[in-house]
Amino acid sequence: MSPLDILILSNGPGELTTWVRPVVKALRQNMGDDRQQLRISLVLSPCPNASGREVEIAQSYPEIDRVQAAQSFFPFLLWGKTAANWDWRSQGIVVFLGGDQVYPVIIGKRLGYRIVVYGEWETRWHRWVDRFGVMKPELVDRVPGQYRHKVVVVGDLMADVGREGVGSRESGVGKKDGEEILIGLLPGSKPAKLAQGVPLGLAIVEQIHRARPETRFVIPIAPTLDPVTLEKFADPNQNPVARLFGERSAIVVRQGEDYYLKTSSGLQIRLWTTAPAYDVLAQCCLCITTVGANTAELGALAIPMVVLIPTQQLDAMRAWDGIPGLLANLPGVGTLFAKLINGWFLRKSRLLAWPNIWAGEAIVPELIGELQPEAVTDLVLDWLDRPEVLAETRRKLRQVRGRSGAVQQFAQLVQTVACSYTD
């Protein structure tokens, strides 16, 4: 096979960690690490959920050879020139893993490359796309008959996240009284979530620790964060929302190579800075988390979780996709739009955590509203007192996390399209 370029199009931090990272790893495993034969490039498109550190995250993936930031996307889309004036090989594949499905069509046709699209909820532009890998069989039925031969069901890429840690430990289920247990706290990665999630989470873990002093806690820090940034959200002087959850604060302390968030009461919470954090998550008996891709990771690891959606600051949540996200972030009027959009969204009954979406029912609790630490603490303590509930939740998570192999099947689909160049 002649030297090949694979150009991956993606956008937000969730897509990078749950789609791009495992797919590029599988592509290298299947197609080899010879960069003269296979070069993998990543071009990011704008995303309202972006943190600004997406390039840094992508550059940490050794399988990727070059990365272009989102701010340079539209000149590339419109005129075909990257910021660094990349060269392109004569044969290649554009792989869609996030953004708008029209992007790979425009770029693929300009470069003369074949196009492979991962369809999570829909597929579009069937005439011009060479192959689709889709999440569910129902998506095949929605495709016009003359194009269905292009579509293959690969499964949910998120369901494969963290598979290497699944089932390796029982993570605290059935521990004896007085024996140390570990609880994970995942308050989010974006300021809108952290503003409420950090102070609420600190209030909860302090109450849990008072009731069960043997309990230890860990916060796996998202790749887009660092300990100093996290500390700001635990400081009422820098994060006024924190006062809604009581008069408490926390500072970052360092002990050797490890970081801790130390609360005003003296409780120290380990900050886990290695990503992905599957090793430490697999040791947790349960996690307290916000919504997002982290619920998919926890679900794939079969870790019981309590999912929190606090609404004390209704205008804080502005990380919506598409037009709602644009309206919520408009200068001046964004706050009004954010309140209206969030109020409408929260009034509608829907499942928000990925394991619940997979199952079609609430197998892990989703707590929405002006949450108080006491109510969440009572739920967590009840779980800790009833290990059979944790064990049953794990069993259900294992049932619904989907068949393994979606990432490998999608990578094989890309490889099949690559091999068609020699047919």
Predicted pLDDT at 179: 61
The number of domains in the chain is 2
Q: Please give the mean pLDDT across all residues of the chain.
A: 85
Lowest mean pLDDT among 84-98, 302-316, 400-414: 302-316
pLDDT at position 345 over 80: no
Both 277 and 387 in one domain: the answer is: yes
User: What pLDDT is stored for residue 343 in this prediction?
Assistant: 58
- Using the predicted structure, report yes or no on whether residue 151 has a pLDDT greater than 80: yes
135 and 284 in one domain? no
More confident site: 402 or 175: 402
Are residues 57 and 185 located together in one domain of the fold? Answer: no
Is residue 396 located within the same domain as residue 409? no
Mean pLDDT lowest among 128-132, 162-166, 209-213, 266-270: 162-166
Specify the pLDDT at position 313.
55
pLDDT one-digit tens code per residue, 80-124: 899 999 999 999 999 999 989 999 999 999 999 999 999 988 999
Q: What sign does the CA torsion over 106, 107, 111, 112 have?
A: negative
- Report pLDDT for 243: 85
CA distance 327 to 70: 20
pLDDT one-digit tens code per residue, 177-191: 556 799 999 998 888
Whole-number pLDDT of residue 170: 46
Q: Indicate whether 384 and 412 sit together in one domain.
A: no
Does the pLDDT of residue 413 top 80, yes or no? yes
Task: Looking at the structure, tell me whether residues 171 and 50 fall in a common domain.
Answer: no
Residues 285 and 342 in one domain: yes
With beta carbons less than 8 A apart as the criterion, state whether 181 and 384 touch.
yes
pLDDT at residue 61 tops 80:
yes
pLDDT at 317: 54
Same domain as 115, residue 193: no
pLDDT at 409 over 90: yes
For residue 222, the enclosing domain spans: 163-400
User: Quick one: pLDDT at residue 173?
Assistant: 45
Same domain, 396 and 284: yes
Q: What is the structure's pLDDT at 225?
A: 84
Q: In the chain, count H helices and then E strands.
A: 16, 15
- Residue 169 has a pLDDT of 44
How far is it, in rounded angstroms, from Cα 217 to Cα 184?
6
Please indicate, yes or no, whether residues 133 and 167 belong to a single structural domain of this protein. no
Q: What is the CATH number of the domain that holds 190?
A: 3.40.50.2000
Task: Give residue 178's pLDDT.
Answer: 52
Residue 64 CA, distance from chain mean position: 19
Percentage of the chain exceeding pLDDT 70: 85
% the chain with pLDDT above 90: 56
Task: Quick: pLDDT tens for 218-269.
Answer: 999 987 788 999 999 999 999 988 888 887 889 999 998 899 999 988 999 9
Q: What is the pLDDT of residue 72?
A: 94
pLDDT band at 337; cut points 50, 70, 90: low
For the record, the structure tokens of 216 come out as: 């230890």
pLDDT in tens, 371-387: 899 999 999 999 999 99
Q: Answer yes or no: do 256 and 337 share one domain.
A: yes
Task: Print the SS3 string covering 257-307.
Answer: CEEEEEECCCCEEEEECCCCCHHHHCCCCEEEEECCHHHHHHHHCCCCEEE
Same-domain status, 136 and 174: no
Of 156-160, 198-202, 205-209, 317-321, give the lowest mean pLDDT range.
Answer: 317-321
